[in-house]
Amino acid sequence: MTRRLTQRGQERRRQILDFAIARFAENGYHPTSVAEIVQGLGVGKGVFYWYFESKEELFLEILKEAQLDLRRAQRAAIEDVTDPVERIALGMRATMAWSASHPELHRLVQFAGTQEHFAAAMRKGQETAVRDAGRHVRDGIATGQIRDLDPEMLAHAILGMTAQLAREFLHERHVSHEVVADTAVSLLLDGLLVPSPTRA
Amino acid sequence: MTRRLTQRGQERRRQILDFAIARFAENGYHPTSVAEIVQGLGVGKGVFYWYFESKEELFLEILKEAQLDLRRAQRAAIEDVTDPVERIALGMRATMAWSASHPELHRLVQFAGTQEHFAAAMRKGQETAVRDAGRHVRDGIATGQIRDLDPEMLAHAILGMTAQLAREFLHERHVSHEVVADTAVSLLLDGLLVPSPTRA
DNA sequence: GGATTTCTTGACCGGCCGGTCAAGAAATCC
DNA sequence: GGATTTCTTGACCGGCCGGTCAAGAAATCC
């Protein structure tokens, strides 16, 4: 659904998106009804269906926007750096910072991952993220900086660790994203173990 | 709801649980109706409400059972070992093995984590898992084997990495759980980086 | 300023939802 | 074998769901 929108129309659309993001994040996608959204905005139901084809399309739109915005932040963070290991670290830090400032979108992306229904849309975003991280891992292996393990598994491990730490320490405990990122990067690069003479 | 159940009653209850697990995992909790469950079993609606107070209670029951079963598997895997680092590695391997053989339950636990509604039940299980992992991390720091980072963050990082690798490589790509666990353990213990003389 | 397009209203649709309940069948108890 | 408990049936409840649509108001176009 692409409509020509006036100034007023664009504002309405934005209003619906923002309100829906808040409600979906708070109560979940299924329990939030279209009726609740339009009522919350104090408008008739027709308004919703003027801007969106369905509740589902609205949600996909929100997802797409979120994934795009996060990726933009990651690219901006690493653009001045070429070292693959530093790129991984900076990307992780950028993800933590973005997640901290978009708690609702973080929730929705998490949720979408569990719904067969949104699997296709999610995979697209997830695959892009894996491809981005995987590229740096491969580069690092090529330069001899990174150990020769399966790059895709490493990329997924990075994303999984980041997501879980964000969920718990940013959104539950409200720890600063720099502190969380410091520990995450340190663990990721050097591992749990104290280097021992027999190992190194 | 605790009822005295005959043999036949226990079988019915189990039937409902198993069928519901399959439907919830396939289509999601909200889209799966009680009507669909009883119809799938070829029984009247009253049967459902004889064994469960509500759809929600049924789901919580499933969650509780899953968390208990996973934890049992983890404890069994590490009972003969005292070294904290080995315990972490074995726990991770046991989790991968369990997850591989219970794909539906893995999905449901993932889903529940995104629902405010089930947050309380989830936190209980999650906290137990974090406490278990955190204990081994602290033990490892005490023996000087593990680097002195925040044990709780490390515990969450371990769980997050494990969950993501399970989701992608066990349940999407159907890679053997031993292979996935090998890489996960290696990354976790030694990190991404090739040890360099200037670092070690 | 008339025509056209954008935007809004809100009553209404069929359909499904979770849950109740009276009635009776089946199993178990003593 | 009568009494009691366990189990099952399925019609029914009020309520909410996503989505439609005819009518008209507001903004924009020319």
Q: What is the DSSP string of B21-72?
A: HHHHHHH-TTTS-HHHHHHHHT--HHHHHHH-S-HHHHHHHHHHHHHHHHHH
- Looking at residue A175, its pLDDT comes to 97
Location of structure tokens 């003389």: B197
Residue in B146, B156, B169 closest to A165 by CB: B156
Contact A194, B145 (CB under 8 A): yes
Helix (H, G, I), strand (E, B), or coil: what is residue B101?
helix
Q: Nucleotides of chain D within 7 Å of a protein C-beta?
A: 5-12, 16-23, 27-28
In this complex, do B180 and A153 lie within 8 Å of one another by their Cβ atoms?
yes
The residue-averaged pLDDT of A144-173 equals: 95
- Looking at residue A199, its pLDDT comes to 46
Q: Which residue of A has its CA nearest to B30?
A: A30
Using a CB cutoff of 8 Å and minimum separation of 24, what contacts does B125-133 make? B125/B63, B125/B64, B125/B67, B126/B159, B128/B67, B128/B71, B129/B71, B129/B159, B130/B155, B130/B156, B130/B159, B132/B71, B132/B74, B132/B91, B133/B88, B133/B91, B133/B158, B133/B159
Quote the tokens at residue B150.
């925040």
Q: Give me the percent of chain A exceeding a pLDDT of 90.
A: 76
Contact A142, A72 (CB under 8 A): no
Contact A66, A124 (CB under 8 A): no
The sign of the CA dihedral B33, B39, B45, B50 is negative
The residue-averaged pLDDT of A50-63 equals: 94
CA–CA gap between residue B156 and residue B146 (Å, rounded): 15
CA–CA gap between residue A50 and residue A141 (Å, rounded): 51
- Looking at residue B9, its pLDDT comes to 86
CA–CA gap between residue A76 and residue B101 (Å, rounded): 41
A63/chain B closest Cα distance in angstroms: 15
The residue-averaged pLDDT of A90-104 equals: 97
* Cα dist from B29 to A9, A31, A43, A54, B109, whole Å: 35, 11, 30, 21, 11
Which residues lie below 8 Å from residue B119, measured CB to CB, with a gap of 6+? none
Interface size, chain A vs chain B, as Cβ–Cβ contacts under 8 Å? 159
Q: Which amino acid is at B134?
A: G
The residue-averaged pLDDT of A101-112 equals: 91
A198: pLDDT strictly greater than 70 = no
- Looking at residue A33, its pLDDT comes to 94
pLDDT band, very low/low/confident/very high, at A169 (cuts 50, 70, 90): very high
pLDDT band, very low/low/confident/very high, at A129 (cuts 50, 70, 90): very high
Contact A57, A114 (CB under 8 A): no
In this complex, do B157 and A165 lie within 8 Å of one another by their Cβ atoms?
yes
Helix B84-101 × helix B151-165 angle, to 10°:
30
A3: pLDDT strictly greater than 80 = no
Statement: the CB of B43 is under 7 Å from strand C: no
The residue-averaged pLDDT of A124-133 equals: 93
- Looking at residue B199, its pLDDT comes to 46
- Looking at residue A197, its pLDDT comes to 64
Q: Nucleotides of chain C within 7 Å of a protein C-beta?
A: 5-12, 16-23, 27-28
Chain A hits for B115, Cβ within 8 Å? 28, 111
DSSP code of residue A33? -
Residues of chain B with pLDDT under 70: 1-2, 197-200
The residue-averaged pLDDT of A15-43 equals: 92
CA–CA gap between residue B163 and residue A166 (Å, rounded): 14
Strand ranges, E, within A1-76: none
CA–CA gap between residue A142 and residue A144 (Å, rounded): 5
A200: pLDDT strictly greater than 70 = no
* Residue B131 burial (10 A CB sphere; 0-12, 13-18, 19+): exposed
